[in-house]
Amino acid sequence: MTSSGMAPLLLTFEVPLAAEATAGTGQEAQLCVAPWAGTLAEAYYTPEAAITGVATNNKVMSIRNRGSAGAGATTMASLTFGAGTNGVAFDESTLALSGTPANLVFALGDVITAQSTVNGTGMTLPEGKVRVVLSRL
Protein backbone atom coordinates (compact mmCIF):
# COMPACT_ATOMS: atom_id res chain seq x y z
CA MET A 1 0.00 0.00 0.00
CA THR A 2 1.07 3.58 -0.59
CA SER A 3 1.15 6.26 2.12
CA SER A 4 -2.32 7.30 0.90
CA GLY A 5 -3.60 3.84 1.88
CA MET A 6 -4.47 3.19 -1.77
CA ALA A 7 -2.95 0.59 -4.07
CA PRO A 8 0.14 1.72 -6.03
CA LEU A 9 -0.75 3.43 -9.30
CA LEU A 10 1.33 4.57 -12.26
CA LEU A 11 0.00 6.94 -14.93
CA THR A 12 1.71 7.94 -18.16
CA PHE A 13 1.32 11.34 -19.81
CA GLU A 14 2.93 12.61 -23.02
CA VAL A 15 2.99 15.79 -25.05
CA PRO A 16 4.30 16.57 -28.57
CA LEU A 17 6.85 19.36 -29.00
CA ALA A 18 7.37 21.46 -32.12
CA ALA A 19 10.72 21.69 -33.88
CA GLU A 20 12.98 24.53 -32.70
CA ALA A 21 15.41 26.73 -34.61
CA THR A 22 19.00 27.28 -33.43
CA ALA A 23 18.40 30.72 -31.95
CA GLY A 24 14.95 29.79 -30.68
CA THR A 25 13.87 30.64 -27.20
CA GLY A 26 12.76 27.13 -26.30
CA GLN A 27 9.23 26.14 -25.40
CA GLU A 28 7.10 24.77 -22.61
CA ALA A 29 4.04 22.53 -22.81
CA GLN A 30 1.72 21.19 -20.13
CA LEU A 31 1.96 17.44 -19.60
CA CYS A 32 -0.82 17.25 -17.01
CA VAL A 33 -2.47 18.60 -13.92
CA ALA A 34 -1.57 16.06 -11.23
CA PRO A 35 -4.60 13.85 -10.54
CA TRP A 36 -3.27 13.00 -7.05
CA ALA A 37 -0.19 13.56 -4.88
CA GLY A 38 2.81 11.53 -5.98
CA THR A 39 6.29 11.44 -7.42
CA LEU A 40 7.85 11.55 -10.86
CA ALA A 41 8.99 7.98 -11.54
CA GLU A 42 10.32 8.22 -15.13
CA ALA A 43 10.82 10.82 -17.87
CA TYR A 44 11.75 10.45 -21.56
CA TYR A 45 12.29 12.55 -24.69
CA THR A 46 11.89 11.07 -28.18
CA PRO A 47 13.11 13.19 -31.12
CA GLU A 48 11.78 12.56 -34.64
CA ALA A 49 15.25 13.11 -36.14
CA ALA A 50 18.81 12.63 -34.90
CA ILE A 51 20.33 15.17 -32.48
CA THR A 52 24.08 15.67 -32.12
CA GLY A 53 25.00 17.22 -28.80
CA VAL A 54 27.53 20.05 -28.62
CA ALA A 55 29.65 21.45 -25.78
CA THR A 56 28.37 24.99 -25.28
CA ASN A 57 25.56 26.04 -27.59
CA ASN A 58 22.95 23.39 -26.88
CA LYS A 59 19.50 22.84 -25.40
CA VAL A 60 18.13 21.24 -22.25
CA MET A 61 14.92 19.22 -22.04
CA SER A 62 13.38 19.40 -18.53
CA ILE A 63 10.33 18.31 -16.60
CA ARG A 64 9.08 21.10 -14.33
CA ASN A 65 6.62 21.25 -11.45
CA ARG A 66 4.84 24.58 -11.83
CA GLY A 67 2.74 24.14 -8.68
CA SER A 68 -1.03 24.51 -8.53
CA ALA A 69 -0.93 28.15 -9.69
CA GLY A 70 1.40 27.40 -12.62
CA ALA A 71 4.20 29.61 -11.27
CA GLY A 72 6.53 27.09 -9.56
CA ALA A 73 10.05 26.52 -10.83
CA THR A 74 11.09 23.07 -9.56
CA THR A 75 13.11 21.01 -12.04
CA MET A 76 12.15 17.37 -11.61
CA ALA A 77 14.28 15.82 -14.39
CA SER A 78 16.51 17.02 -17.24
CA LEU A 79 18.67 16.05 -20.19
CA THR A 80 21.29 18.39 -21.68
CA PHE A 81 22.32 17.73 -25.28
CA GLY A 82 25.95 18.55 -24.50
CA ALA A 83 29.04 17.06 -26.19
CA GLY A 84 28.63 13.28 -26.34
CA THR A 85 24.91 13.33 -25.50
CA ASN A 86 23.03 12.59 -28.70
CA GLY A 87 19.47 11.69 -29.60
CA VAL A 88 18.58 8.91 -32.02
CA ALA A 89 15.53 9.43 -34.24
CA PHE A 90 12.43 7.77 -32.76
CA ASP A 91 14.40 6.35 -29.81
CA GLU A 92 13.55 7.42 -26.27
CA SER A 93 16.28 9.19 -24.32
CA THR A 94 15.95 9.06 -20.54
CA LEU A 95 15.88 12.35 -18.62
CA ALA A 96 17.89 12.13 -15.40
CA LEU A 97 15.65 12.44 -12.36
CA SER A 98 16.62 15.13 -9.85
CA GLY A 99 19.03 13.91 -7.18
CA THR A 100 17.00 15.86 -4.62
CA PRO A 101 14.10 13.57 -3.60
CA ALA A 102 11.86 16.52 -2.67
CA ASN A 103 12.08 17.78 -6.28
CA LEU A 104 10.35 14.63 -7.52
CA VAL A 105 7.28 15.14 -5.32
CA PHE A 106 4.11 16.86 -6.54
CA ALA A 107 0.75 17.63 -4.92
CA LEU A 108 -2.77 17.07 -6.19
CA GLY A 109 -3.45 19.81 -8.76
CA ASP A 110 0.18 20.72 -9.51
CA VAL A 111 0.88 21.57 -13.15
CA ILE A 112 3.62 19.34 -14.65
CA THR A 113 5.30 20.64 -17.83
CA ALA A 114 7.95 19.75 -20.39
CA GLN A 115 10.34 22.61 -21.14
CA SER A 116 13.24 23.13 -23.51
CA THR A 117 15.74 25.89 -22.73
CA VAL A 118 18.63 27.37 -24.69
CA ASN A 119 22.27 27.34 -23.56
CA GLY A 120 24.50 29.84 -25.38
CA THR A 121 23.21 30.38 -28.91
CA GLY A 122 21.34 27.08 -28.85
CA MET A 123 20.94 24.34 -31.42
CA THR A 124 18.13 22.97 -33.52
CA LEU A 125 15.76 20.40 -32.08
CA PRO A 126 13.47 18.32 -34.29
CA GLU A 127 9.83 17.67 -33.52
CA GLY A 128 9.50 15.16 -30.73
CA LYS A 129 7.54 14.11 -27.69
CA VAL A 130 8.07 14.00 -23.94
CA ARG A 131 6.65 11.17 -21.85
CA VAL A 132 6.49 10.96 -18.06
CA VAL A 133 5.36 8.27 -15.63
CA LEU A 134 3.83 9.49 -12.37
CA SER A 135 3.51 7.36 -9.26
CA ARG A 136 0.81 7.93 -6.62
CA LEU A 137 2.01 8.35 -3.02
pLDDT in tens, 16-28: 999 998 777 799 9
Whole-structure pTM value = 0.91
Taking residues 112-123, what's their average pLDDT? Answer: 93
User: 10-136 has which fold?
Assistant: Jelly Rolls (2.60.120)
Phi, psi angle pair for 110, to nearest 5°: -65, 145
Q: Per-domain residue ranges for the chain?
A: 10-136
pLDDT in tens, 49-105: 999 999 999 999 999 999 999 999 999 999 999 999 999 999 999 999 999 999 999
